[in-house]
Structure 1
Amino acid sequence: ICCTSANVVKVVNSLDADEVLMVPDKNLAKYAALHTKKKIHFWDGYCIVHNMLTAEVVLLAKEKHPGAVFMAHPECRPEVLELADVVLSTSGMIRYAGESESKFFIVGTETGILHPMKKANPSKTFYPVSRDMECMNMKKMSLEAVIRSLENMEGEVKVPEDIRIPAKEAVSKMIDLSLK
């Protein structure tokens, strides 16, 4: 089965096992371990953007924006999560900002989320915890690239059946569990 930062705890707790191996993100695995009785084994991988965020950077942002709610992504380092007012997936951050009475937020995830947050909550102010939290891999895809691919029918990704079938099963299990 696979998971996202939004459903990791639900997925881990649904497994009929006392021990779970989580790959590739060690920080997400450590976060999940705080919310389950299961023993979590983790791979020593991480999201480059979330893992680069340090407690020192967070403390500087909190000092610069006193009173702002610090929202951290669960793929951040444990010492960063300890400083968070809330730990949420990106979709959770957008939802929380809309429901919160607070008007000011420090956002501890990839800076691309700032635009949809501001659009959904124009009366609120969002500060990136660091301008360095930009994912070059996420920026490789653009609306123009999608349009070009569809218009020219190019960029097709072919996945061998022996990989596609078990991968689809893992994703389907996650989706089914998320709908419960």
Structure 2
Amino acid sequence: MLVQQSSELKEEIMRLKKEKDVVILAHNYQIPDVQDVADFTGDSLGLSRQAATVDQKTILFCGVHFMAETAAIISPEKKVLIPDLEAGCSLSDSITVDELRNWKNQHPDAIAVGYVNTTAEIKAELDYCCTSANAVNVVKSIPEDKDILFLPDMFLGSYVAKMTGRKNMHIWAGECHVHAGITPEDVTKKLESMQDAEFLIHPECGCTTPMMYDVADGSYDDKKVSILSTEGMLKHANKSKSKNFVVATETGILYKMKQQNPGKTFIPASEKAECQYMKMITLEKVYDALINEKNIVTVPKEIADKARLAIDRMLAIS
């Protein structure tokens, strides 16, 4: 019965989005049913780019609030809806605009680089935005003599500092509760149970920093270890000759991985790595937002104009 209801609801959503000229964007961490009705699925960077180029006048963003804000900033002429206004982000909440202004005052000559997982207010204070896919390249594009304030994710910041060799990066002590909860012990157990598995790890993970040093000193010589964004993981899994993968990120990505690679096995590094905010988006809420055109996400023009500069710089750097 539930399967039938779900199927009928999907059909109705597909009909409505055509009738109302709405494009549905869904993050890789969304539940499978929501990914099924989306026109595009992807990571923050990929979906930001889609938001900038789609023809439809209305975007229904199935993700968390800061993502819908980013779409509204990039496409001010479009209406942006979100199925649940309460779908927030623990990482985004880990720094306030007052804390950032105070930090900038302490380092007046520094360049502020912020992860896309931040509010529009924070983005308006940044010099550059970045995602996990292009954070290293964004930092590499900044003159080496310039101090960098990197926020809000300390694990991604540590990873970027390691990959670029920058000694003048100041890193905010924020974290994503989901990724921070994936421990080196989780990873080791899974890898031991699957001897021939490749290990794909998101740079926001709590295990990233110790894992990076392990990779550097050869501790994983007999394992293939790749530190990748969610979109990078999908591309890598598609190309790889390996049959088994341990995946350290939010479990929602496994649905797409299995869809794209039916002959391969994908195991989460931790079954507990679920974002309750991402999972707040349901088919029923997608339908409700579509039919009532509710939960419009707007960003005041003054903030949007400032934030757009940092976002445009992010979109220009692959």
Measured against the shorter chain, the TM-score band is over 0.9
Q: Does 1:87 align with 2:239?
A: no
Q: Which amino acid aligns with 1:6?
A: A
Name which one, 1 or 2, has greater alpha-carbon Rg. Answer: 2
Identity of aligned residues (%): 43
- Using the TM superposition, name which of 32-41 and 123-132 deviates more: 32-41
- Using the TM superposition, name which of 37-46 and 115-124 deviates more: 37-46
User: Match of 2:298?
Assistant: 158
| Deviation for aligned residue 1:132 | 0.4
Q: Name which of 176, 181, 203 aligns with 1:47.
A: 176
Q: Does 1:22 align with 2:150?
A: yes
CA distance in 1, matches of 2:129, 2:203: 16
Using the size of structure 1 for normalisation, the TM-score is: 0.92
| Deviation for aligned residue 1:42 | 0.6
User: Match of 2:203?
Assistant: 74
CA distance in 1, matches of 2:170, 2:279: 31
CA distance in 1, matches of 2:146, 2:309: 22
CA distance in 1, matches of 2:186, 2:234: 22
Q: Name which of 120, 125, 130 aligns with 1:3.
A: 130
Deviations for 1:89-141, whole angstroms, at most 9, x for unmatched residues? 11111111111111000000000000000011111100111100111111122
RMSD (Å), alpha carbons: 1.5
CA distance in 1, matches of 2:150, 2:286: 32
CA distance in 2, matches of 1:20, 1:142: 39
Q: Name which of 252, 257, 260 aligns with 1:120.
A: 260
| Deviation for aligned residue 1:143 | 4.4
User: Match of 1:172?
Assistant: 312
Segments of 5+ residues of structure 2 without an aligned counterpart are 1-127
| Deviation for aligned residue 1:55 | 1.0
- The answer to whether the Cα contact below 8 Å between 1:22 and 1:29 also exists between their aligned partners in 2 is yes
CA distance in 2, matches of 1:100, 1:143: 33
Number of residue pairs matched by the alignment: 178
CA distance in 2, matches of 1:165, 1:150: 28
Q: Which amino acid aligns with 1:75?
A: E
CA distance in 1, matches of 2:263, 2:248: 20
- Ranked by relative contact order (alpha carbons within 8 Å, sequence separation 6 or more), the top structure is 2
CA distance in 1, matches of 2:244, 2:165: 35
Segments of 5+ residues of structure 1 without an aligned counterpart are none
CA distance in 2, matches of 1:24, 1:140: 23
CA distance in 1, matches of 2:313, 2:282: 29
> For residues 29 and 89 of structure 1, do their structure 2 counterparts lie closer, same or farther at Cα, with a shift above 3 Å needed?
same
CA distance in 2, matches of 1:176, 1:70: 30
- SS of residue in 1 equivalent to 2:266: strand
Over 4 Å off, 4+ runs: none
Deviations for 1:22-66, whole angstroms, at most 9, x for unmatched residues? 111000000000111332111000111111111111111111111
- The answer to whether the Cα contact below 8 Å between 1:98 and 1:120 also exists between their aligned partners in 2 is yes
- SS of residue in 1 equivalent to 2:252: helix
